[in-house]
């Protein structure tokens, strides 16, 4: 087994400091130490993968490297006995695809405490339609619900709504009975967002706060923000008394220009989302929900499938903010 070769995307740094990507053969013996060897059948493309694939040192310190923060497949070897051979499993987050060889290859080897048994009710493919994006969306919805934002309390705003996290947040919220307003920069995607269950579609300009007041008219009981910057600060200033906002991303900006007034006058709560380090007990709870009551009926509509050869064009697209929904990677095609 250890001399077996497998196909993988490898990103390496060239002599002139640029980064190049190739699909090449690697040996299983080159994988890092770990308890569980997994034959990867599906992975998915996330914004963080694209950053790793273009040499972003904030994500990946050392190259050559195989990105892919998500993987679903079967156990081929397990040294500590925690998983039987051929068990269907998934891994998202932790260090996978960052500085540990990731799911853009047909094998990964990881510590057993990173591995989640595939919940019944989800196929490996479906688990990667969710992937880190869907898991992050689920974590965000869980924060809203746990803080008392139930569907009867008011509207929920989702930003970056056609992206991976955004589209799955819209779909999960609608499935759970919430009324969802979606902010998107893509006019052409209104039908897609309505199909996912959004009742209102807002252009990004609707979240531009030209008045720069500390508080704005109350509109949202909850917010799932994936973009940061002015859109997030406007959303926080427009959140109802005791409303809840989650923050996971920075595609617009890592900055947040605010006063404390939304927090001290309206009791708004802002929750940070760190899906990569979500504790295992909560991780299993959320995957169970994604396989059951939060599984959107039209899950397949959110994703399209590609193979390793088509990753390049899709990495460029996600970095330009042009991704709609999810791309899953079939490692066997």
Question: What are the distances in angstroms from CA 108 to CA 34, 148, 246?
Answer: 9, 39, 31
Looking at the Cβ atoms of 252 and 311, the one nearer to ligand NAP is 252
Looking at the Cβ atoms of 78 and 245, the one nearer to ligand NAP is 245
Instruction: Provide the 10 A C-beta neighbour count for residue 270.
Output: 17
Q: How far is the CB of 257 from ligand NAP (least distance, A)?
A: 15
Tokens of 47: 């914004």
Q: How far is the CB of 86 from ligand NAP (least distance, A)?
A: 30
Looking at the Cβ atoms of 136 and 233, the one nearer to ligand NAP is 136
Looking at the Cβ atoms of 68 and 163, the one nearer to ligand NAP is 163
Q: How far is the CB of 45 from ligand NAP (least distance, A)?
A: 8
**E strands in 84-217:** 88-92, 107-110, 116-117, 156-158, 180-184, 198-203
Looking at the Cβ atoms of 50 and 110, the one nearer to ligand NAP is 50
CA quadruple 310, 311, 314, 315: dihedral sign: negative
Q: Please state the separation of Cα 41 from the chain's center in Å.
A: 19
Residues binding ligand NAP (CB under 6 A): 46-48, 132-133, 136, 160-166, 184-186, 204, 226-227, 231, 248-252, 273-276, 318, 321, 323
H/E element, 34 = none
Rounded CA-CA distance 228/218 in Å is 19
Q: How far is the CB of 264 from ligand NAP (least distance, A)?
A: 26
Q: How far is the CB of 325 from ligand NAP (least distance, A)?
A: 8
Looking at the Cβ atoms of 61 and 187, the one nearer to ligand NAP is 187
Residue pair 10/24 in contact (Cβ under 8 Å)? The answer is yes
Looking at the Cβ atoms of 27 and 57, the one nearer to ligand NAP is 57
Cis peptide upstream of residue 64 (ω within 30 degrees of 0): yes
Phi, psi torsion values for 294, nearest 5 degrees: -100, 10
**How many Cα atoms within 13 Å fall on the side-chain side of residue 169?**
33
Looking at the Cβ atoms of 204 and 266, the one nearer to ligand NAP is 204
Q: How far is the CB of 79 from ligand NAP (least distance, A)?
A: 29
Q: How far is the CB of 87 from ligand NAP (least distance, A)?
A: 26
- Sheet containing 156-158: which strands, arranged edge to edge? 198-203, 180-184, 156-158, 220-225, 239-247, 269-272
Q: How far is the CB of 102 from ligand NAP (least distance, A)?
A: 14
**E strands in the chain:** 5-13, 19-27, 36-44, 70-78, 88-92, 107-110, 116-117, 156-158, 180-184, 198-203, 220-225, 239-247, 269-272, 303-306, 326-330
Tell me the residue number closest to ligand NAP, measured at CB.
Answer: 163
């Amino acid at each position: 087994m250890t001399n077996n070769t497998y196909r993988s995307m490898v990103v390496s740094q060239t002599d002139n400091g640029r980064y190049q990507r190739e699909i090449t053969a690697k040996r299983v013996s080159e994988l890092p130490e770990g308890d569980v060897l997994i034959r990867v059948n599906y992975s998915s493309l996330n914004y963080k993968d694209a950053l790793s694939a273009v040499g972003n040192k904030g994500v990946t310190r050392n190259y050559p490297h195989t990105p892919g923060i998500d993987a679903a497949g079967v156990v081929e070897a397990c040294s500590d006995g925690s998983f039987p051979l051929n068990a269907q499993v998934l891994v998202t987050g932790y260090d996978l695809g960052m500085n540990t060889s990731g799911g853009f290859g047909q094998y990964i080897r990881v510590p057993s405490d990173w591995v989640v048994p595939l919940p019944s009710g989800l196929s490996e493919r479906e688990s990667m339609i969710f992937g880190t994006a869907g898991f992050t969306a689920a974590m965000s919805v869980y924060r809203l619900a746990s803080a008392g934002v139930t569907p009867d309390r008011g509207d929920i705003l989702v930003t970056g709504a056609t992206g991976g996290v955004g589209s799955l947040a819209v779909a999960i919220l609608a499935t759970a009975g919430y009324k969802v307003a979606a902010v998107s920069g893509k006019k052409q995607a209104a039908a897609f967002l309505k199909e996912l269950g959004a009742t209102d579609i807002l252009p990004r300009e609707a979240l531009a706060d030209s008045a720069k007041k500390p508080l704005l008219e109350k509109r949202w009981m909850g917010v799932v923000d994936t973009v940061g910057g002015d859109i997030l600060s406007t959303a926080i200033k427009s959140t109802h008394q005791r409303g809840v906002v989650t923050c996971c991303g920075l595609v617009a900006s890592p900055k947040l220009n605010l006063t404390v007034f939304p927090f001290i006058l309206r009791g708004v709560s802002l929750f940070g989302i760190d899906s990569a380090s979500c504790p295992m007990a909560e991780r299993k709870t959320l995957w169970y929900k994604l396989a059951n009551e939060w599984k959107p009926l039209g899950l397949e509509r959110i994703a399209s499938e590609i193979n390793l050869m088509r990753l390049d064009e899709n990495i460029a697209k996600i970095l330009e903010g042009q991704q709609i929904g999810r791309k899953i990677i079939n490692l066997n095609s």
